[in-house]
Protein backbone atom coordinates (compact mmCIF):
# COMPACT_ATOMS: atom_id res chain seq x y z
CA UNK A 1 0.00 0.00 0.00
CA UNK A 2 1.19 3.51 -0.82
CA UNK A 3 0.27 5.28 2.42
CA UNK A 4 0.90 8.77 1.08
CA UNK A 5 -1.27 8.26 -1.99
CA UNK A 6 -4.02 6.71 0.13
CA UNK A 7 -4.00 9.66 2.53
CA UNK A 8 -3.98 12.03 -0.44
CA UNK A 9 -7.21 10.36 -1.57
CA UNK A 10 -8.67 11.31 1.81
CA UNK A 11 -7.46 14.90 1.36
CA UNK A 12 -9.23 15.01 -2.01
CA UNK A 13 -12.39 13.72 -0.33
CA UNK A 14 -12.12 16.41 2.36
CA UNK A 15 -11.70 19.16 -0.25
CA UNK A 16 -14.72 17.98 -2.25
CA UNK A 17 -16.88 17.93 0.89
CA UNK A 18 -15.32 20.75 2.89
CA UNK A 19 -18.62 22.60 3.31
CA UNK A 20 -20.53 19.44 4.18
CA UNK A 21 -20.64 17.48 7.41
CA UNK A 22 -17.56 15.26 7.47
CA UNK A 23 -17.47 12.04 9.47
CA UNK A 24 -14.05 10.63 10.28
CA UNK A 25 -15.19 7.15 9.21
CA UNK A 26 -16.01 8.48 5.71
CA UNK A 27 -12.71 10.36 5.44
CA UNK A 28 -10.75 7.30 6.57
CA UNK A 29 -12.68 5.07 4.15
CA UNK A 30 -11.46 7.26 1.28
CA UNK A 31 -7.93 6.23 2.32
CA UNK A 32 -8.97 2.57 2.84
CA UNK A 33 -7.98 2.78 6.54
CA UNK A 34 -9.83 2.21 9.75
CA UNK A 35 -10.79 5.51 11.37
CA UNK A 36 -8.37 5.15 14.28
CA UNK A 37 -5.39 4.02 12.21
CA UNK A 38 -5.99 6.82 9.71
CA UNK A 39 -5.98 9.41 12.48
CA UNK A 40 -2.77 8.02 13.97
CA UNK A 41 -0.88 7.97 10.65
CA UNK A 42 -2.20 11.39 9.59
CA UNK A 43 -1.16 12.94 12.89
CA UNK A 44 2.29 11.33 12.87
CA UNK A 45 2.99 12.58 9.33
CA UNK A 46 1.45 16.06 9.47
CA UNK A 47 1.92 16.97 13.12
CA UNK A 48 -1.74 17.76 13.74
CA UNK A 49 -5.03 15.88 13.90
CA UNK A 50 -7.48 15.29 11.05
CA UNK A 51 -10.10 17.38 12.89
CA UNK A 52 -7.61 20.24 13.30
CA UNK A 53 -6.74 20.10 9.59
CA UNK A 54 -10.41 20.21 8.58
CA UNK A 55 -11.05 23.13 10.94
CA UNK A 56 -8.08 25.09 9.55
CA UNK A 57 -9.12 24.41 5.96
CA UNK A 58 -12.71 25.52 6.60
CA UNK A 59 -11.58 28.71 8.30
CA UNK A 60 -9.12 29.39 5.48
CA UNK A 61 -11.80 28.82 2.86
CA UNK A 62 -14.13 31.11 4.78
CA UNK A 63 -11.60 33.92 4.28
CA UNK A 64 -12.14 33.62 0.52
CA UNK A 65 -15.91 33.89 1.06
CA UNK A 66 -15.45 37.02 3.16
CA UNK A 67 -13.22 38.54 0.48
CA UNK A 68 -15.08 37.64 -2.69
CA UNK A 69 -18.78 37.34 -1.84
CA UNK A 70 -21.52 39.47 -0.33
CA UNK A 71 -22.50 36.66 2.05
CA UNK A 72 -23.21 37.81 5.60
CA UNK A 73 -20.94 36.61 8.39
CA UNK A 74 -23.77 34.32 9.53
CA UNK A 75 -24.08 32.82 6.04
CA UNK A 76 -20.32 32.27 5.90
CA UNK A 77 -20.49 30.64 9.34
CA UNK A 78 -23.20 28.21 8.24
CA UNK A 79 -21.38 27.44 4.98
CA UNK A 80 -18.28 26.66 7.05
CA UNK A 81 -20.19 24.13 9.19
CA UNK A 82 -20.49 26.29 12.31
CA UNK A 83 -23.70 26.13 14.32
CA UNK A 84 -23.80 29.85 15.02
CA UNK A 85 -22.19 33.15 14.08
CA UNK A 86 -20.78 33.37 17.60
CA UNK A 87 -19.05 29.98 17.36
CA UNK A 88 -17.58 30.88 13.97
CA UNK A 89 -16.39 34.28 15.19
CA UNK A 90 -14.64 32.72 18.22
CA UNK A 91 -12.93 30.12 16.03
CA UNK A 92 -11.93 32.68 13.38
CA UNK A 93 -10.51 35.10 15.94
CA UNK A 94 -8.74 32.30 17.80
CA UNK A 95 -7.01 31.16 14.61
CA UNK A 96 -6.35 34.45 12.81
CA UNK A 97 -6.29 36.96 15.68
CA UNK A 98 -9.05 39.13 14.20
CA UNK A 99 -12.84 38.78 13.97
CA UNK A 100 -14.37 37.99 10.55
CA UNK A 101 -16.32 41.25 10.60
CA UNK A 102 -13.23 43.32 11.28
CA UNK A 103 -11.21 41.39 8.71
CA UNK A 104 -13.80 42.12 6.03
CA UNK A 105 -13.37 45.83 6.73
CA UNK A 106 -9.55 45.82 6.76
CA UNK A 107 -8.76 42.90 4.46
CA UNK A 108 -6.55 45.04 2.26
CA UNK A 109 -4.39 45.84 5.28
CA UNK A 110 -4.24 42.37 6.82
CA UNK A 111 -2.28 39.26 5.90
CA UNK A 112 -3.57 35.96 7.28
CA UNK A 113 -1.70 32.67 7.49
CA UNK A 114 -4.01 30.30 5.63
CA UNK A 115 -3.94 26.52 5.65
CA UNK A 116 -3.50 25.30 2.07
CA UNK A 117 -4.51 21.76 1.07
CA UNK A 118 -1.76 19.35 2.05
CA UNK A 119 0.07 17.49 -0.73
CA UNK A 120 1.20 14.19 0.78
CA UNK A 121 2.71 13.07 -2.52
CA UNK A 122 5.28 15.87 -2.31
CA UNK A 123 5.75 15.07 1.38
CA UNK A 124 6.61 11.48 0.51
CA UNK A 125 9.68 12.53 -1.46
CA UNK A 126 10.98 14.62 1.43
CA UNK A 127 10.81 11.78 3.99
CA UNK A 128 12.66 8.95 2.24
CA UNK A 129 16.01 10.05 3.63
CA UNK A 130 15.02 9.02 7.17
CA UNK A 131 14.59 5.32 6.45
CA UNK A 132 17.93 4.25 7.92
CA UNK A 133 16.81 5.32 11.40
CA UNK A 134 15.83 2.71 13.96
CA UNK A 135 15.49 -0.26 11.61
CA UNK A 136 13.19 -2.91 13.10
CA UNK A 137 13.64 -6.64 13.31
CA UNK A 138 10.73 -8.84 12.28
CA UNK A 139 9.63 -11.46 14.77
CA UNK A 140 6.87 -14.08 14.86
CA UNK A 141 5.11 -14.03 18.23
CA UNK A 142 2.86 -16.59 19.85
CA UNK A 143 -0.27 -15.51 21.68
CA UNK A 144 0.58 -13.61 24.85
CA UNK A 145 -1.79 -13.60 27.83
CA UNK A 146 -1.78 -10.35 29.79
CA UNK A 147 -3.51 -9.30 32.99
CA UNK A 148 -3.46 -5.55 33.43
CA UNK A 149 -5.17 -2.30 34.22
CA UNK A 150 -6.75 -0.23 31.39
CA UNK A 151 -6.48 3.56 31.27
CA UNK A 152 -8.64 5.72 28.98
CA UNK A 153 -6.91 8.27 26.74
CA UNK A 154 -7.18 9.80 23.26
CA UNK A 155 -5.23 10.90 20.20
CA UNK A 156 -7.09 14.21 20.33
CA UNK A 157 -5.12 17.22 21.56
CA UNK A 158 -2.14 14.88 22.00
CA UNK A 159 -3.63 13.62 25.26
CA UNK A 160 -1.87 10.26 25.01
CA UNK A 161 1.53 11.99 24.80
CA UNK A 162 0.99 13.53 28.21
CA UNK A 163 -1.11 10.88 29.93
CA UNK A 164 0.68 7.59 29.22
CA UNK A 165 3.75 8.42 31.37
CA UNK A 166 1.39 9.30 34.24
CA UNK A 167 -0.42 5.95 33.74
CA UNK A 168 2.85 4.09 34.31
CA UNK A 169 3.58 6.22 37.37
CA UNK A 170 0.12 5.56 38.83
CA UNK A 171 0.42 1.83 38.08
CA UNK A 172 3.69 1.67 40.00
CA UNK A 173 2.83 3.98 42.88
CA UNK A 174 -0.38 2.07 43.62
CA UNK A 175 1.48 -1.23 43.21
CA UNK A 176 -1.17 -2.58 40.85
CA UNK A 177 1.41 -5.08 39.57
CA UNK A 178 1.34 -6.78 42.97
CA UNK A 179 -2.29 -7.80 42.36
CA UNK A 180 -1.56 -9.68 39.12
CA UNK A 181 -1.71 -13.49 39.65
CA UNK A 182 0.17 -16.21 37.73
CA UNK A 183 3.00 -13.96 36.54
CA UNK A 184 5.17 -15.51 33.87
CA UNK A 185 7.85 -12.83 33.49
CA UNK A 186 7.97 -10.48 36.49
CA UNK A 187 9.87 -7.30 35.75
CA UNK A 188 8.67 -7.07 32.14
CA UNK A 189 5.88 -4.51 31.95
CA UNK A 190 3.52 -4.42 28.94
CA UNK A 191 1.84 -1.27 27.66
CA UNK A 192 -0.86 -2.08 25.10
CA UNK A 193 -2.83 0.30 22.87
CA UNK A 194 -6.28 -1.24 22.35
CA UNK A 195 -10.06 -0.68 22.26
CA UNK A 196 -9.73 1.86 19.45
CA UNK A 197 -12.69 4.20 18.87
CA UNK A 198 -13.52 6.10 15.68
CA UNK A 199 -13.29 9.43 17.52
CA UNK A 200 -9.64 8.83 18.48
CA UNK A 201 -10.27 7.50 21.99
CA UNK A 202 -8.51 4.31 23.03
CA UNK A 203 -7.35 2.37 26.07
CA UNK A 204 -3.76 1.96 27.18
CA UNK A 205 -3.53 -1.22 29.22
CA UNK A 206 -0.55 -1.71 31.55
CA UNK A 207 0.11 -5.19 32.84
CA UNK A 208 2.28 -8.30 32.82
CA UNK A 209 2.37 -11.63 31.00
CA UNK A 210 0.69 -14.51 32.85
CA UNK A 211 0.57 -18.28 32.54
CA UNK A 212 -3.22 -18.38 32.52
CA UNK A 213 -6.21 -16.09 32.83
CA UNK A 214 -8.31 -15.77 35.98
CA UNK A 215 -12.10 -15.66 35.95
CA UNK A 216 -12.20 -13.53 39.09
CA UNK A 217 -9.82 -10.58 39.24
CA UNK A 218 -9.47 -7.68 41.63
CA UNK A 219 -11.49 -4.61 40.68
CA UNK A 220 -10.08 -2.79 37.68
CA UNK A 221 -7.89 -5.62 36.37
CA UNK A 222 -8.78 -7.33 33.08
CA UNK A 223 -7.63 -10.29 30.99
CA UNK A 224 -6.22 -9.38 27.58
CA UNK A 225 -4.77 -11.55 24.80
CA UNK A 226 -2.17 -10.23 22.36
CA UNK A 227 -2.78 -12.10 19.08
CA UNK A 228 -0.12 -14.32 17.54
CA UNK A 229 1.41 -13.12 14.29
CA UNK A 230 4.27 -11.24 12.68
CA UNK A 231 5.42 -8.05 14.39
CA UNK A 232 7.99 -5.35 13.65
CA UNK A 233 10.11 -4.88 16.78
CA UNK A 234 11.66 -1.44 17.39
CA UNK A 235 14.08 -0.55 20.16
CA UNK A 236 13.26 2.64 22.05
CA UNK A 237 16.04 2.69 24.64
CA UNK A 238 16.66 6.10 26.15
CA UNK A 239 15.16 8.79 28.34
CA UNK A 240 11.47 9.03 29.18
CA UNK A 241 9.58 10.52 26.26
CA UNK A 242 11.88 9.01 23.64
CA UNK A 243 9.39 6.21 23.08
CA UNK A 244 6.95 8.75 21.64
CA UNK A 245 9.60 9.96 19.18
CA UNK A 246 10.04 6.36 18.04
CA UNK A 247 6.29 5.92 17.66
CA UNK A 248 6.13 9.09 15.54
CA UNK A 249 8.93 7.71 13.38
CA UNK A 250 7.14 4.37 12.99
CA UNK A 251 3.80 5.84 11.92
CA UNK A 252 5.05 9.00 10.24
CA UNK A 253 8.07 7.71 8.33
CA UNK A 254 8.86 4.00 8.53
CA UNK A 255 5.42 2.47 7.94
CA UNK A 256 4.37 4.79 5.06
CA UNK A 257 7.69 4.18 3.29
CA UNK A 258 7.98 0.45 3.97
CA UNK A 259 6.52 -2.44 1.99
CA UNK A 260 4.45 -3.49 5.00
CA UNK A 261 0.91 -2.81 6.10
CA UNK A 262 -0.19 -2.58 9.69
CA UNK A 263 -2.60 -5.35 10.64
CA UNK A 264 -5.71 -4.52 12.64
CA UNK A 265 -5.19 -5.14 16.34
CA UNK A 266 -3.17 -3.78 19.23
CA UNK A 267 0.38 -2.54 19.14
CA UNK A 268 2.32 -2.72 22.38
CA UNK A 269 5.55 -1.91 24.17
CA UNK A 270 7.52 -3.97 26.65
CA UNK A 271 9.65 -2.30 29.33
CA UNK A 272 12.48 -4.17 31.03
CA UNK A 273 11.75 -2.66 34.43
CA UNK A 274 14.68 -4.35 36.20
CA UNK A 275 17.30 -2.92 33.83
CA UNK A 276 15.64 0.48 33.36
CA UNK A 277 16.39 3.65 35.28
CA UNK A 278 13.63 6.25 35.27
CA UNK A 279 13.68 8.81 33.74
CA UNK A 280 17.10 8.75 32.06
CA UNK A 281 17.61 5.22 30.75
CA UNK A 282 14.59 3.09 29.90
CA UNK A 283 14.85 -0.27 28.10
CA UNK A 284 11.77 -0.47 25.86
CA UNK A 285 10.76 -2.42 22.76
CA UNK A 286 7.76 -1.49 20.61
CA UNK A 287 5.84 -4.08 18.59
CA UNK A 288 3.64 -3.27 15.56
CA UNK A 289 1.41 -6.02 14.04
CA UNK A 290 2.01 -6.56 10.31
CA UNK A 291 0.12 -8.25 7.50
- Work out the angle at residue 287's Cα, subtended by the Cα atoms of residues 1 and 51, and round it to the nearest 5 degrees: 60
- From CA 225, how far away is CA 144, in angstroms rounded? 6
- Which backbone phi and psi does 270 adopt, to 5 degrees? -125, 125
Banded model confidence at residue 278, pLDDT cuts 50, 70, 90: confident
Please check the confidence at residue 91 and state whether its pLDDT lies above 70.
yes
Residue 113 lies in a domain: yes
Of 253, 249, 164, 183, the C-alpha closest to 221 is: 183
Domain around 269: 137-289
Domain end, chosen from 107, 126, 145, is at 126
Residue 132 lies in a domain: no
CATH number reported for the structural domain that contains residue 41 in this entry: 1.10.10.60
C-beta separation of 221 from 180 below 8 A = yes
- Co-location of 122 and 166 in the same domain: no
Residue 8 lies in a domain: yes
Residue 131 is predicted with a pLDDT of 47
- Co-location of 285 and 158 in the same domain: yes
Of 287, 268, 248, 236, the C-alpha closest to 158 is: 248
Residue 79 lies in a domain: yes
- Co-location of 258 and 281 in the same domain: yes
CATH number reported for the structural domain that contains residue 274 in this entry: 3.20.80.10
For helices 85-96 and 50-68, give the axis angle rounded to 10 degrees. 100
- Co-location of 158 and 234 in the same domain: yes
> Tens of pLDDT along 104-135?
988 766 789 999 999 988 877 666 545 456 68
With the C-alpha atoms ordered 37, 157, 223, 241, is the resulting torsion angle positive or negative? positive
Domain count across the chain: 2
- Which backbone phi and psi does 262 adopt, to 5 degrees? -75, 130
Domain end, chosen from 77, 100, 126, is at 126
Residue 131 lies in a domain: no
Any bridge partners for residue 200, and if so which?
none
Residue 287 is predicted with a pLDDT of 97
What would the 3-class secondary structure string for 47-60 be? CCCHHHHHHHHHHH
- From CA 51, how far away is CA 43, in angstroms rounded? 10
Lowest-pLDDT range of 225-234, 245-254, 263-272: 245-254
- Co-location of 59 and 87 in the same domain: yes
- Co-location of 189 and 59 in the same domain: no
- From CA 147, how far away is CA 138, in angstroms rounded? 25
- Co-location of 120 and 162 in the same domain: no
Residue 198 lies in a domain: yes
Please check the confidence at residue 191 and state whether its pLDDT lies above 50.
yes
Amino acid sequence: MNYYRSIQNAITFIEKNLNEELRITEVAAAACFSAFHFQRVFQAISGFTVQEYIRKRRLSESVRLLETTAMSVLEVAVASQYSSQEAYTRAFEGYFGVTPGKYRKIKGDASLSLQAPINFIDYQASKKGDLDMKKPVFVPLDTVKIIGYPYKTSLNNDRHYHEIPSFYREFGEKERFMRIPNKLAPGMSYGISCSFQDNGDFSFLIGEEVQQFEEKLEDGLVNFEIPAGQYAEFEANGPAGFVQEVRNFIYGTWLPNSNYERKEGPDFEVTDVIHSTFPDDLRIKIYIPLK
